[in-house]
Amino acid sequence: MNEQLVLVTGGTGFIAQHCMIALLQAGYRVRTTVRDLAREEEVRSHLRTGGVEAGDRLAFVAADLSADAGWREAAAGCRYVMHGASPTPSGAQVREEDWIGPAVDGNLRVLRAARDAGVKRVVLTSAFGAICAGHTAMPRPFNETDWSDLNGNVAPYQKSKTLSERAAWEFIAREGRGMELSAINPVAVLGPVLGPDFSHSIRLVKYMLDGQPGCLKINSGFVDVRDVADLHLRAMTDPAAAGERFLAIAGESMWMIELAQILRSRLGAAAHKVPTKVLPNWVARLAARKDPTMRAAMPLLGINMNASGEKAARLLGWSPRPREEAVLATAESLIRLGLVEP
């Protein structure tokens, strides 16, 4: 039994909860932050859905990215930190600053608290959005040497992930005092849903199962959340991961219509509402005038987002399950939990 204590920030998050499951299964003790302690039982229930009864090996601290309170207590006594708390596309953000401020300032709050507590290494959950955005064409698959071009057409979420990850690396270089940092940059994260509060990537599958009218001409990589959690654990302890970024993707990217075809071919009657056609770009642009979610996707129309996970495989021995398995695990869990419209 490994008695080391690990802080996982943003305990209500999809990736964070799967990271907690992986840590608890590996024998670690876990402390997690939530903005509202009233959500503790919800988090514990999600972990039970994932096969783990946390008991007293899991503790909760109230902390918010926008304030200093709670972060010192959260980091105290921790050997490692997995920091994934960050604004995600929930619809609550109105201004660009609603994304960027909490992401950048939150990263710095967590890093300062971790450094002052003597944490050995922080594993930052960044995003593919810090790598791929703002580029109109790439002659090769994206990899960890790439950064989003903020002079291009970049949505606020991708901009926040880019600026917050850069701020983290700059903090480590200037003020880290020997604390180590690794960053995980997942593409769209699928996999088993634990409850009704799931990530924006999962909605891609849910909307198809619910019968959206067609598929946007958008390309994306996919990865299973269980493999993302596994990569976090590898990056947390492997000496080769210190000071490195790791792109998390399973196989090659695919177009949304290919995702729909996987659902229809593998789920039978359960996928009878999944779309079979690609929406013309002009229809998507017209809809984006009234739909903010659609508008955020417009910079991605027609762009190949293929990327390489070779570095994580080579340095850390990471081996993700096939993307098709991630797609099916997502759909099956949504159906099992009654989260798909009848």
120 is a catalytic site residue: no
Whose CA is closest to 59, among 33, 31, 85? 31
Q: Which amino acid is at 308?
A: S
The 8 Å CB, 24+ separation contacts for 62-70 are 62/33, 62/34, 62/35, 62/36, 62/37, 63/9, 63/33, 63/34, 63/35, 64/35, 65/102, 65/103, 65/105, 65/106, 65/109, 65/110, 66/101, 66/102, 66/105, 66/106, 68/109, 70/33
Pick the catalytic residue from 161, 217, 277, 290. Answer: 161
Q: Quote the radius of gyration of the chain (alpha carbons, Å).
A: 19
Cross-strand partners of 58: 30
From 22, 5, 23, 27, select the one nearest 114 (Cα to Cα).
Answer: 5
Amino acid at 123: V
Taking Cα atoms as reference points, which of 170, 311, 315 lies closest to residue 247?
311
Report whether 241 contacts 315 (CB < 8 A): yes
Length of the chain: 342
- Please give the positions annotated as active site: 161
